[in-house]
Structure 1
Amino acid sequence: GRALAEARSTAEVLRVAAGLSMPGFSPDGLAVFGVTGDRLTIIGHHGHQPGDEGPFTHMALDTDYPAAEVVRTGRAVYLSSPEKYKDRYPVTWPLAAHFNRQSWAFLPLTVAGRTMGAWMAAFTYPVAFTPDERSVLTTVARMLAQALSRAEAAESARELTDGLQRSMLPKLGPEIPGMSVAARYVPTGGGLQVGGDWYDMIPLPNGRFALVIGDVQGHDVRAAGLMGQLRIALRAYASEGHRPDAVLSRASRFLHGMTFGSLDEDPSELRFATCLYVEVDPTNGLLDIARAGHPDPAIRMTDGTVLARPTAGGLPLGIDPDADYPTTRITLEPGETMLICTDGLIETGGHDLETGWKRIRAILEEHDGDLEALADALVQAVHGPSSHHTTGPLADRREDDIAVLLLCREGEGCGCGAPVTVRPTIRRTMMSVAQAEPERVAVARQQLRELLHDWASEDQVDSAVLLLSEMLTNVLVHTDADALLLAEVRGGPGDRRIRVEVTDTSDDLPHKRRPGELASSGRGLMLIELLAQSWGVDPRGEGKSIWFELYESEGADGSGGADGSGGSDGSGGSGLA
């Protein structure tokens, strides 16, 4: 009884039934009959040769056969000898004769008063079918019917789940010249195992393509339904040629109208969605990103360094129909891989965004296989081995849906093909800091620390972060321009060079000051002279750039001081704060 109660599928129920050992008598042959319309079908059998079920398949219910009579009447039939079988069912006796059985029991499989089929137990020796024996057989038949009913319901739910997944999660589109894409979706456990997470890849009219990933609030059928409608709306807006910010603005208005449109809407049914929309130009690797309350993308560089790339964003979709979604542009260099995912990949297993990100970052840094293997490794790190779409006991341990998209631009060190044997010796990051976004100075400092995560001298890392902060703050305080940061690391471990350059459109060159002891500004160039191995100020056609360099081999002992050769040509003094 316990084994039948725990069986999850029809095949498993039949295996348990075939292994039953009843006190004093055990059947040699078993068959389970079902009903389809007005026909008897064979669900499964045991103790017979393949093909033996042929004559009994699709037998009409009005046939003079014991199983058909049991289904029609709902009453058991016990045949204790071949003679009784032949006398009672002369027409179908020849079908049973060649099996050389001596006794048969046909019992109804009844659930909630409905006969769903019949169970045959056949014996190679005579069985009298005493009241005790009939009681045992009847009890087993009831348990078998309950187990088959549960298995049938579970299989129907799994079939519905698979159908929903196939219809709502499209296959990745055609191959992209110079790029590779991999994706995974894992639903949450329980119920229909569908939820609000999705991904998509959309060809655009301008020859580019869009990658979309999102998460509708909830893990139920309503979330899945809203997800399907929202995905279709996003595809429609993107296919019309709108830019990323316009696509998300329209999608937010669409979702708001669906969920907030009725004044008598149940508040518990109101939903929102997070989303990340990336327009990709495969010719040059430009990525235009619009974000609606979703986790930022991450970039795996050619040497294995992984950086989270902060992007401007707006509210989740559906909250404010007039929400604005600014666009951030970054470049995916040859050999680099971008990861975008839903929060289920990050936060599952008791992790928050910070600790979960550290776990994902370690996998990205350590993995040298191809893109498909990397996608599997990311999902496996959360809850074990996966397929492209995972259901069943594995998914039951999930806390949230997972959707993952990986985009790789082919090049030396990329994850598109064979494992990397020699790491490239360059890594870089670029970001802008607008006058209205002084908080991005802190983001830039963090980006630089992540870029130098394996630098030999911690003192040099601190120096680089301090100088970067001074340079960016100078632009924001002393000019009306925005600042553009470019940080680049070249060389092999132990002998690398970091160059940090901040560019703005102001023509005012920095001038060196001699601030008093109590002055709160004016020491920027003094710090650069003191801490950088080399530095300079370069006028541009429009604006200027100020840069500094640090050398890992010279600062490995923590000294990190200037060598005296730095500085510009003396033209410009300090305007740095």
Structure 2
Amino acid sequence: MRTGEPLPAVGDVLTALATGIWHWDTAAELVTVNAEAARLLGLPAAETALTEAQARSRMHPVDWNEITGVVQLAVAEGTLAEVRIRIMDERGRVIRTVRSRSKPSYDAERRAFLLTGTLQEVTEPVPGTPAGRTAVTGDWRRSREAFLLDAGRALAEARSTAEVLRVAAGLSMPGFTPDGLAVFGVEGDRLTIIGHHGQQPGDEGPFSHMSLATDYPAAEVVRTGRAVYLSSPETYKTRYPVTWPLAQHFGRQSWAFLPLTVAGRTMGAWMAAFTYPVAFTPDERSVLTTVARMLAQALSRAGVAESERELTDGLQRSMLPHLGPEIPGMSIAARYVPTGGGLQVGGDWYDMIPLPGGRFALVIGDVQGHDVRAAGLMGQLRIALRAYASEGHRPDAVLSRASRFLHGMTYDDPDAADLRFATCLYVEVDPTTGVLDVARAGHPDPAVRMADSTVLIRRTDGGLPLGIDPDADYPTTRIALEPGETMLICTDGLIETGGHDIETGWKRIRTILETHDGDLESLADALVQAVHGPSSHHTTGPLADRREDDIAVLLLCREGEGCGCGDAVAVRPTVRRTMLSVAQAEPERVAVARQQLRELLHDWASPDQVDSAVLLLSETLTNVLVHTDADALLLAEVRGEPGDRRMRVEVTDTSDDLPHKRRPGELASSGRGLMLIELLADLWGVDPRGEGKSIWFELYETSVEPSAEPSVEVE
């Protein structure tokens, strides 16, 4: 360039340097790019405007999500936002990596971010290296801070253990995201698996209920409270030779085991596993440690919340009745979900009361309020109603007496902090004729679905809510329930939740009743799910947290065409197992292993088989300690239903010497181990494990006598 000549345009200079310009307005959801930026994005080289969705489709989803965090952090700090982005083609393949540098700003009036920056192609380094971290996340420290802010917010918002685990599985750490996670808890002297991600279902089996004394990284972390970093398979194999075979088949290259500590107490361990080598630099350890602390806090909060829900469930179960024995010719289903907040207890209730002559009464009610006092009044009122009904009073008399009872408790008590009343619907049922005598105290009317699915609101006479006027009358209305018809009674929480009034709420319920074609139990679920999502017979966690009012539902069906009965629920078989390592220097742990096996088989049908299993375990463990220089790892499990179960005991060691049968003399002190296994086990075998072997045997809890010659498998 000659002296005095004008400078070239900025755009021409940037184009010459293969640098594009892009502008992003989050309020307009519009991304504008010049010709060079369009080319870098894999588009025709011409200035163009893209929607956010179009721009997002050209970028790796992980990188697009990181852009938002980096931009927010740069605005907060008043610095440049730098990030590297992987550009994708139409088939989802990465075609290049570009670096963006920009100075974002925030428009408070429009509540939008404005960003103008550059795009320039760079070489994509290998993941896991220091350069690879920069390629994925831009500035390492800024991306780390943005990641930790997002991770902390997401974990703080998780409200259950399952939600915490889902958040942990979805964390995309800056530059070294693990592909396998596991969270271990502690029960007594054993590890448990709280949850895992990146493994197949069932892979957690060998690691669950592992003794804290086992030579396993997570057990060591819980014992010592110190993190364990294993940067290569060789490191893992050298430090933990006994349990290395358990981890080997997952094909990982690096592992981090960190303590989950709350208030100075180690409550478990967190494993992050990687398919590529990770050096675990100080920066990487800092990120992992911070995430582990946040994860521990989140799990602790979730555990407290779940304990409260369990307490709530127990309280509600103690107050709410079972529906009693089956009624010939009729089916009954009930649901109850309390309001969210606090201990999630409220004043709604239902009851089924046996009466003389084969009749019974259905009661549903709602005490004013959503607190412990309401729940206490509900329990006392329910008992009073049962007492009056059991004395043989008619529905009108039952409610009149209950009203006087509640009035005396609330209005005549000088220590009562507030005055309470209750709505109630009392239905006396004659199952033989289907006649229903209904008395109502300020409660919604019942609805009846006929055999052809037509739904009618059955208007009934009624009186004031219970507890307001001790002299109130409650007239009785008689309804006949025909075969195939279903009666619904509920509290107003089912009707009016979600902004509905009594009219629009009934329309919603009517639609469900008319269109549902399942049995009575599924209909009860459908009614509650339509309002707030999945339900159960009692409390349901996040569902209750969104409740505007308690919900109680009772369904009564007179069997016939149009009314189904619930199916039995299948019970899945359970698996119980124990695991323990026995070191060469700890032969006394053989006795511990024997005791653990006896405890595992405490309800086994045959005591002789239990004795045989303990004897064979003692032999296999002793053989490892006597005939090899290796430590032993015990895994014992029981599968199946009682009376038809399978017991499998497996002892693993790192020695390559395979056992062989011998013919010991009469006075020999050894050599009988395999002979005993062959005589006593239903099935046994020896499995080579690459480095080491596993000796196992099985016994079956069946009435069939084992064959004279047990099966042998050597793989």
TM-score, L = length of structure 2: 0.49
- Superposition deviation, residue 204 in structure 1: 0.5
Residue 667 of structure 2 is matched in structure 1 by none
What does the per-residue CA deviation read over 1:224-269, in whole Å, with 9 as the maximum and x for residues that have no partner? 34323432332233223233233334433444455456523323xx
Query: 2:370 is matched by which residue type in structure 1?
Result: H
Structure 1: how far apart are the matches of 2:208 and 2:455? 62
**1:74–1:319 CA distance, 2 compared to 1 (3 A):** farther
Residue 244 of structure 2 is matched in structure 1 by 96
8 Å CA contact 2:519–2:563 kept in 1: the answer is yes
Residue 379 of structure 2 is matched in structure 1 by 228
Q: In structure 2, which of residues 436, 439, 452 is the aligned counterpart of residue 287 of structure 1? A: 436
- Superposition deviation, residue 332 in structure 1: 0.8
Query: 2:435 is matched by which residue type in structure 1?
Result: L
Q: In structure 1, which of residues 182, 190, 195 is the aligned counterpart of residue 346 of structure 2? A: 195
- Superposition deviation, residue 209 in structure 1: 0.8
Structure 2: how far apart are the matches of 1:355 and 1:377? 18
Is 1:310 paired with 2:310? no
Is 1:131 paired with 2:131? no
- Superposition deviation, residue 34 in structure 1: 1.8
What does the per-residue CA deviation read over 1:288-315, in whole Å, with 9 as the maximum and x for residues that have no partner? 33322222334556774725323132x3
Residue 493 of structure 2 is matched in structure 1 by 344
Q: How does 1:1-400 map to 2 (within 5 A)?
A: 1=151, 2-27=153-178, 29-46=180-197, 56-59=207-210, 61=212, 66-80=217-231, 92-96=240-244, 99-100=247-248, 103-123=254-274, 126-256=277-407, 258-259=409-410, 262-267=413-418, 270-299=419-448, 304=454, 306-313=456-463, 315-320=464-469, 322-332=470-480, 334-335=482-483, 337-357=486-506, 359-360=508-509, 375=524, 378-379=527-528, 382-383=531-532, 389=538, 391-400=540-549
Structure 1: how far apart are the matches of 2:158 and 2:205? 27
**1:59–1:252 CA distance, 2 compared to 1 (3 A):** same
What secondary structure, in the 3-state scheme, does the structure 1 residue paired with 2:426 have?
Answer: strand
8 Å CA contact 2:159–2:542 kept in 1: the answer is no
What secondary structure, in the 3-state scheme, does the structure 1 residue paired with 2:358 have?
Answer: coil
- Superposition deviation, residue 417 in structure 1: 5.1
Residue 403 of structure 1 is matched in structure 2 by 552
8 Å CA contact 2:448–2:487 kept in 1: the answer is yes
- Superposition deviation, residue 74 in structure 1: 3.4
Structure 2: how far apart are the matches of 1:403 and 1:109? 40
Q: Which runs of 5+ in 1 are unaligned?
A: 419-577
**1:123–1:94 CA distance, 2 compared to 1 (3 A):** farther
**1:353–1:10 CA distance, 2 compared to 1 (3 A):** closer
8 Å CA contact 1:109–1:145 kept in 2: the answer is yes
- Superposition deviation, residue 9 in structure 1: 3.7
Q: Which has the higher contact order (CA 8 A, sep 6+)?
A: 1
Structure 2: how far apart are the matches of 1:194 and 1:236? 24
Structure 2: how far apart are the matches of 1:356 and 1:52? 48
- Superposition deviation, residue 194 in structure 1: 3.8
- Superposition deviation, residue 207 in structure 1: 2.2
With 53-62 and 135-144 compared, the bigger mean Cα shift is at 53-62
**1:176–1:149 CA distance, 2 compared to 1 (3 A):** same
What secondary structure, in the 3-state scheme, does the structure 2 residue paired with 1:404 have?
Answer: strand
- Superposition deviation, residue 96 in structure 1: 2.8
Structure 2: how far apart are the matches of 1:122 and 1:50? 17
What secondary structure, in the 3-state scheme, does the structure 2 residue paired with 1:263 have?
Answer: coil
With 350-359 and 106-115 compared, the bigger mean Cα shift is at 350-359
With 358-367 and 132-141 compared, the bigger mean Cα shift is at 358-367
Structure 2: how far apart are the matches of 1:37 and 1:163? 24
8 Å CA contact 2:388–2:401 kept in 1: the answer is yes
Q: How does 1:440-519 map to 2 (within 5 A)?
A: none
Aligned residues: 409
Structure 1: how far apart are the matches of 2:518 and 2:247? 56
- Superposition deviation, residue 135 in structure 1: 1.0
What does the per-residue CA deviation read over 1:192-226, in whole Å, with 9 as the maximum and x for residues that have no partner? 44422122221102321101110111223443343
Structure 2: how far apart are the matches of 1:13 and 1:142? 13
Query: 2:462 is matched by which residue type in structure 1?
Result: A
8 Å CA contact 2:460–2:477 kept in 1: the answer is no
What secondary structure, in the 3-state scheme, does the structure 2 residue paired with 1:44 have?
Answer: strand
Query: 1:330 is matched by which residue type in structure 2?
Result: R
Structure 1: how far apart are the matches of 2:275 and 2:335? 52
**1:325–1:298 CA distance, 2 compared to 1 (3 A):** farther
8 Å CA contact 1:340–1:404 kept in 2: the answer is yes
Structure 2: how far apart are the matches of 1:126 and 1:266? 66
Query: 1:295 is matched by which residue type in structure 2?
Result: P
Query: 1:416 is matched by which residue type in structure 2?
Result: C
8 Å CA contact 1:189–1:391 kept in 2: the answer is no
Structure 1: how far apart are the matches of 2:411 and 2:330? 40
What secondary structure, in the 3-state scheme, does the structure 2 residue paired with 1:316 have?
Answer: coil
8 Å CA contact 1:290–1:328 kept in 2: the answer is yes
Residue 422 of structure 1 is matched in structure 2 by none
Query: 1:406 is matched by which residue type in structure 2?
Result: L
- Superposition deviation, residue 278 in structure 1: 1.5
Q: Percent identity?
A: 84
Residue 416 of structure 1 is matched in structure 2 by 563
Structure 2: how far apart are the matches of 1:75 and 1:305? 65
8 Å CA contact 2:338–2:544 kept in 1: the answer is yes
Q: Which runs of 5+ in 2 are unaligned?
A: 1-150, 566-715
